[in-house]
Amino acid sequence: MNAASTQHEWTKYTKFYTENNKGRLTRLGVFEKQGETVNDYWLESGLPFNGLDIDTHKDLPSVQISVGVLCHEVDQVVDIAFHLSASGDDDGVDIKSTNGTSTVLRFERHTE
């Protein structure tokens, strides 16, 4: 699959993912590798998911993650992994960029 068709698939998945998870409570973090050390920065916990949007107008796409009043942008995206589970407890998205940074979005556990 070439880069353009891969990005088109990402666009379809981000739309589907947004429609099916809007309003769910989230955790959003960034993982950076510096030498042998991995640093994690948790940007938020408990904000409602508004959506994912992808901009494919550059050589490498960027992804915008909107939660509550926060919008986090990941530039030069090279991989997106969508996680889905039967219970919904392990759902999330991993986004990797060219600089080796991974951004992770996870949903809080469903409560009855």
- Of residues 58 and 5, the one with the higher pLDDT is 58
Locate 87 and state its tokens.
Answer: 């219970």
Given a cut of 80, is residue 102 above it in pLDDT? yes
Number of domains in the chain: 1
In a domain, residue 112? The reply is no
In a domain, residue 30? The reply is yes
The whole domain housing 96 covers: 3-107
Identify whether the C-beta of residue 102 lies closer than 8 Å to the C-beta of residue 91. no
> CATH number of the domain that 75 lies in?
2.70.180
Given a cut of 70, is residue 45 above it in pLDDT? yes
In a domain, residue 53? The reply is yes
In a domain, residue 45? The reply is yes
| Model-wide pTM > 0.95 | no
Predicted local distance difference test score (pLDDT) of residue 1: 44
